[in-house]
Amino acid sequence: MLHKTWRRVAIATAGVLALSLTTACSEDPGESKDLSENRAGAMANYGVGDQFKATEALSFSTLYNNHTFYPLKEDWLFWSELTKRTNVKIEPVAVPLSDYEQKRSLLIGAGDAPLIIPKTYHPQENAFVSSGAVLPVSDYLDLMPNLKDKIAKWNLKPEIDNLRQSDGKFYLLPGMHEKPTQDYTVLVRTDIMQELNLAVPKTWDDLYTVLKAMKAKYPNVYPYSDLFSKPNPTGALLNILGSAHGTQAGWDYQHATWDPAAKKFNYTGASEQYRQMVTFLHKLVAEGLLDPESFTQTDDQARQKLANGKSFVVTGNAQTLVNNHRPDLAKTLPNAKMAKIPLPIGPAGEVNPFPRLENGIMISAKARESKNFVAMMQFIDWLWYSDAGLEFARWGIEGTTFTKDASGKRTLNPGVDFLGLNPKAPKHLQKDFGFQNGVFAYGGSPDLVRGFFSPEELEFQKVMDARPPRVVPPPAPLTDEEREQVSLWETPLKDFVTQNTLKFALGQRPLTEWDAYVAELKAKNSEQYIDVVNKAYERFQKNNG
């Protein structure tokens, strides 16, 4: 699993909730379906399961999110093998991870964006729809048989419809999972739990009890000292704590949350569920169980506290556990043990909150005029959505980076490491070969996604698989005029919610002022915002029965 900050964090700051519109069983044919002049290099008969190979050598510019953990290398096997298989060369326009969103917006705004724009998190694409800068990709799904096949086989239509705009079209090709694979949870020093004879906590209240016992034994320690304070304070903790309370917070913050009982959307930051979450967070801080510096410290500072025995619990995932915390502890506290625990259950009950859609691809509108447009869409369909392309992007080349037995089970070659599977191997799947690259590898079936998982991680997923997935909210697509209006309210509202969440948690503002805070939100147009969203929902219901 890949680092959260480049997997889903942008959702929280992306803008208005833009949900689905299901206007018909088939796609709108679009305003321009004559592609007779745009088929250069395309395969004449390309279908599900076919190996795409352009009939002439092609190259497509692609915005590339350059990750610090595996910086781009021109000699990666990924590049050469991709060209060998598809006759296509990707021309990466590399942008540092820290500047990706800003650079993407600048390039699109200036008309200089590459043709293929990956690593886009819905609803970020909304900002580029009204200008016509990105393509309504739903018009061209007939060019993408593997994508259409997986939508049908995996019953993803409700999720896909959530991408639609008020025109009934969608502008983002998402990464798609057959099943949710929750990764982020609470990581705990299990040796401390054993020392104190504590059971693995099943609920957030259980975790509170564990933290209290740790604090009683080690009064000079903040048991929980968290990472990921940027760009949202404790974005990861609030993300999982929010989902446990039936709301959206931290990295997942959206202005509108669906209330199935009332059959309407509520303003998230003013909801009763959000208040309960903030109250619990405040309790952790007030009782010295959560380090108040969690909201401001750097990741390195949090890692050092954990490594030096000044904390015992953090929020994280399989990669941070294996690549960061266990190696850190091995150097300083060699007898320490740390593990992921199943996501604690909260007032919302058992739920697997991970969505089946993740970041996806925008296509620059200028690509439609290219003589190679059809070939480009076929190429994207093969690399990001075919079984062979998904396997290639994640696992690499059979016989070189992995092997496959008669049952189809994949095994990473012993000379290659990923997620600590072969820690002494001389090569790394991402760093040395370019596979499992977050620009190209996301989505897939459980056997593909989880094939790298250790037995303990598979056990974690087994527990999460037994929980029902989160409910997909109903459609409430906004018109361009509505989106323009709410965009004026979003940033002030989001900043105010973030600031006051922090104040309430740290005790800088008493919880008795919650009603006053809600009134202040209303003064910043929170009610007008929700009125727009609910009217959009009602309009959809009226127009679509």
Task: Give the containing element (helix H, strand E) for 470.
Answer: none
pLDDT 10s digits, 339-356: 999 999 999 999 999 889
Whether the pLDDT of residue 7 is over 70: the answer is no
Provide the terminal-to-terminal Cα distance of the chain, rounded to the nearest Å. 40
Q: pLDDT at position 316, please?
A: 95
Please say if the pLDDT value at position 20 is more than 80: no
Q: Which residues contact residue 81 at a Cβ distance below 8 angstroms, ignoring those fewer than 6 apart?
A: 392, 396, 397
Between 387-395 and 77-86, two packed helices, what is the crossing angle to 10 degrees? Answer: 160
- At residue 40, what is the residue type? A
Please, what sign has the CA dihedral across residues 206, 346, 227, 186?
Answer: positive
Q: Is 468 exposed, middle or buried (0-12, 13-18, 19+ CB in 10 A)?
A: exposed
Asked if the model's pLDDT at residue 148 lies above 90, the reply is: yes
What was the pLDDT predicted at 235?
A: 86
Q: What is the pLDDT of residues 149-177, one digit of tens each?
A: 999 999 999 899 889 888 889 999 999 99
Q: What does the pLDDT look like over 503-541, one tens digit per residue?
A: 999 999 999 999 999 999 999 999 999 999 999 999 888
Ordered alpha helix ranges (H), 429-479: 446-449, 455-465
pLDDT at 485 over 70: yes
Amino acid at 324: N
- pTM equals 0.81
Q: Report the alpha-carbon distance of residue 15 to residue 123 in Å, rounded.
A: 7
Q: With bands split at pLDDT 50, 70 and 90, how would you rate the model's confidence at 17?
A: very low
247: tokens are 């709301």
Position with higher pLDDT, 30 vs 151: 151
d(CA 413, CA 422): 8
* Segment 370-396, tens digit of pLDDT: 999 999 999 999 999 999 999 999 999
Q: Taking 70 as the threshold, does the pLDDT of residue 9 lie above it?
A: no
Cα distance between residue 278 and residue 283, in whole Å: 9
User: 6 pLDDT exceeds 70?
Assistant: no
DSSP letters, 224-283, are: B-----SSSTTHHHHHHHHHHTTS--GGG--SEEEETTTTEEEEGGGSHHHHHHHHHHHH
Q: What share of the chain is helix, strand, coil (3-state, %, to 5)?
A: 45, 15, 40
- What's residue 143's pLDDT? 98
Token pair in block for residue 287:
């009782």
Q: Which residues pair with 188 in a beta bridge?
A: 313, 339
Where does the pLDDT of residue 295 fall: very low under 50, low under 70, confident under 90, or very high at 90 and above? very high
| pLDDT at res. 545 | 60
